[in-house]
A = this chain, B = another copy of it.
Amino acid sequence: MKIEPLGDKIVVKRLEQNERTSGGIYLPDTAREKPQQGRVLAVGPGKMLADGSRAKPQVNEGDRIIFSKYSGTEIEINQAEVLIISEADVLAISN
């Protein structure tokens, strides 16, 4: 299966919220804006700029990211649930 996100879209696999990661990051469930950890599976060509060229995305395939919990659209690929979100919904890369 090949999936190519449009523009600044990325495909993300959710990571378990309740594991305290080796990287030491923990995302409390009670946070005001609930953040979510995930693994980037695919990255679009980047947001279109005013001159028609593409902005190079900051995230790369394989990155572990923190993103806004309520963003994106759920789809299922090969029986695994993934999300399509915009790079603008990503807060940080936490490799």
Q: Is B5's CB under 8 angstroms from A25's CB?
A: no
Q: A35-B75, A59-B6, A92-B11 given as contacts; is B25 within 8 A of A1 (CB)?
A: yes
**B-contact bits for A19-52, CB 8 A (1 contact / 0 none):** 0000111111001110100000010110111111
**A25 and B75 form a contact (CB under 8 A):** yes
The docked-state distance in angstroms from the alpha carbon of A11 to that of B91 is: 10
Across-interface contacts of A58 in B (CB, < 8 A)? 6-7, 44-45
Q: State the A residues within 8 Å of B (CB).
A: 1-7, 9, 11, 23-28, 31-33, 35, 42, 44-45, 47-56, 58-59, 66, 68, 72-79, 81, 84, 87, 90-95
